[in-house]
């Protein structure tokens, strides 16, 4: 099933956002909102300065600008690129080093930075501290072996390479060309960073709508649609230089009677994604409640049924809830610890089927999701990697 990427400007609560929505057969899978004229710092690379070390957290706070400290876990420290080092074997206050924003600020938490710099291309990611060769598990074995032979001879202690899923559709020449480009970019960064002043931005990430486009599986992407001349021009320019084989998929939508927003019911989908209750076709519903520490999901039957029919009905609702939950986590961009209270079922076989269905449903997520286990109280624990703000935070934090 093909996917459509929608890029448009959306008015919400008196603010204008650049909305990037991923659809599959008119069903919305992902929705990202970026305030118009206010680009995210996620992925930006800076010369940061260590403000202080907090021993009981085993962490440092590194400023990327005056008054903007970022969290840095000290266990991640491997081979940082120092711009200025105070005479100490450890990371200490006043040290200046190159850091990248790995996670946006969230609720009461500051942004998180890493010294493992990631330079991302269409097919590869170069990493500065993880110096191994990693290949996407979604690639078939034959392609994996070919890539190991092509890239292993270039292994270097200064950086590592991660091969992305999109490499499946690229030629050997295209992959090696991109590898050379990323390597030269990294060498240039290492060479110029020591000459830059504190708080300099060494590399600015692409806008969110282009970042989403870059991360999509090419084989599934059917079209990219926008109704905004400026966004069309910038997307076309990006595709021309970065993904020329995809430029034919870009379409400019123009209809005075029916806007792109109305055609895809974008504002309605956003409103639904911000509500606690999600109705299921079977008559049941989910209650999704994010808290400071975790997200709690309650599955309700919505009807009172007794006897043998009840167990069959509960299984049906739980299986539908598992599929819908996977969809809602991705759409709302919920992350961290998620606790799900499914409807209790007596059958062990039914419980196992539910866990299998949930594990299968989260595999299509573009963000890593782990189904941990079921507790003694029959609560299901899962975790979803935190990178960006949740959809609700994207709206409320501005």
User: DSSP of 86-140, one letter per residue?
Assistant: -SSSS--TT-EEEEEEEE--BTTBPPEEESS-EEE-SSEEEESS--SEEE-TTS-
- Position 1 scores a pLDDT of 66
> Two tokens at 112?
């998180």
- Position 306 scores a pLDDT of 57
Buried b (16+ CB within 10 A) or exposed e, 59-82: bbbbbbeeebbbbbeeeebeebbb
Fold of 41-204: OB fold (Dihydrolipoamide Acetyltransferase, E2P) (2.40.50)
CA pair distance 92, 308, nearest whole angstrom: 65
- Position 136 scores a pLDDT of 84
Fold of 3-39+207-267: Nucleotidyltransferase; domain 5 (3.30.420)
Q: Are 209 and 235 in contact (CB under 8 A)?
A: yes
CA triple 388-394-398, angle to 5 deg: 130
What digits encode the pLDDT tens for the residues 129-144? 988 888 888 788 888 8
- Position 298 scores a pLDDT of 97
Long-range contact pairs involving 343-352 (C-beta distance under 8 Å, separation at least 24): 343/284, 343/299, 343/300, 343/301, 343/314, 343/317, 343/318, 344/314, 344/378, 345/311, 345/314, 345/315, 345/318, 346/311, 347/311, 347/315, 350/311, 350/314, 350/315, 350/318, 351/378
- For the chain, domain boundaries: 3-39+207-267, 41-204, 276-396
Buried b (16+ CB within 10 A) or exposed e, 163-179: bbbbbbebeeeebbebb
Below-50 pLDDT ranges, the chain: none
> CB-based contacts of 86: which residues, under 8 Å, 6+ apart?
92, 93, 94, 95
Strands 160-163 and 27-35 turn out to be unpaired
Torsion from C-alpha of 11, 13, 17, 19, nearest 10 degrees: -70
Q: Are 370 and 382 in contact (CB under 8 A)?
A: yes
- Position 397 scores a pLDDT of 62
Strands 96-103 and 82-84 turn out to be antiparallel
- Biggest CA–CA distance in the chain, Å, is 75
Fold of 276-396: Aminopeptidase (3.40.630)
244 class by beta-carbon count within 10 Å (0-12 exposed, 13-18 middle, 19+ buried): exposed
> Two tokens at 203?
């590399």
Nearest to 161 by CA among 143, 190, 135: 135
Question: Which segments of the chain does DSSP mark as H helices, in order?
Answer: 141-152, 172-192, 208-215, 229-242, 260-263, 266-273, 308-332, 348-362, 391-396
What SS3 state is found at 42? coil
Nearest to 353 by CA among 329, 381, 320, 330: 320
CA pair distance 201, 211, nearest whole angstrom: 18
* Residue found by looking up tokens 């167990």 in the block: 311
């Amino acid at each position: 099933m093909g996917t459509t990427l929608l890029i448009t400007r959306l008015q919400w609560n008196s603010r204008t956002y650049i909305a990037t929505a991923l659809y599959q057969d008119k069903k919305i899978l992902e929705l990202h909102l970026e305030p118009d004229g206010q680009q995210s710092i996620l992925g930006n690379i800076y010369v940061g300065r260590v403000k202080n070390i907090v021993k009981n957290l085993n962490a440092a706070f590194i400023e990327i600008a005056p008054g903007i400290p970022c969290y840095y876990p000290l266990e991640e420290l491997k081979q940082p690129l120092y711009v200025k080092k105070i005479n100490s074997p450890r990371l200490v206050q006043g040290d200046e080093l190159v850091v990248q924003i790995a996670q946006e600020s969230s609720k009461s938490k500051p942004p998180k930075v890493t010294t493992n710099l990631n330079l991302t291309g269409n097919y590869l990611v170069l990493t500065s501290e993880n110096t191994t060769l990693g290949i996407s598990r979604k690639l078939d074995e034959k392609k994996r072996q070919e890539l190991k032979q092509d890239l292993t001879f270039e292994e270097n202690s200064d950086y590592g390479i991660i091969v992305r899923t999109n490499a499946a559709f690229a030629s050997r020449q295209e992959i090696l060309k991109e590898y050379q480009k990323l390597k030269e970019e990294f060498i240039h960064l290492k060479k110029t960073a020591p000459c830059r002043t504190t708080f300099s931005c060494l590399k600015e990430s692409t806008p969110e709508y282009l970042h989403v486009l870059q991360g999509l599986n090419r084989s599934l992407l059917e079209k990219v649609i926008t109704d905004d001349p400026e966004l069309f021009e910038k997307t076309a320019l990006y595709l021309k230089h970065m993904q020329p084989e995809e430029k034919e998929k870009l379409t400019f939508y123009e209809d005075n009677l029916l806007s792109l927003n109305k055609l895809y019911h974008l504002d309605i989908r956003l409103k639904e994604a911000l509500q606690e209750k999600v109705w299921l076709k079977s008559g049941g519903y989910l209650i999704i409640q994010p808290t400071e520490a975790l997200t709690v999901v309650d599955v309700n039957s919505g009807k009172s049924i007794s006897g043998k029919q009840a167990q069959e009905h509960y299984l049906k609702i739980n299986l539908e809830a598992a599929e819908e939950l996977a969809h809602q986590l991705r759409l709302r961009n919920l992350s961290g610890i998620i606790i799900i209270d499914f409807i209790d079922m007596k059958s062990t076989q039914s419980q196992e089927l539910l866990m299998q269905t949930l594990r299968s449903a989260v595999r299509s997520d573009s963000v890593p999701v782990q189904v941990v286990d079921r507790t003694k109280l029959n609560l299901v624990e899962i975790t979803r990697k935190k990178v960006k703000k949740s959809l609700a935070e994207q709206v409320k934090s501005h």
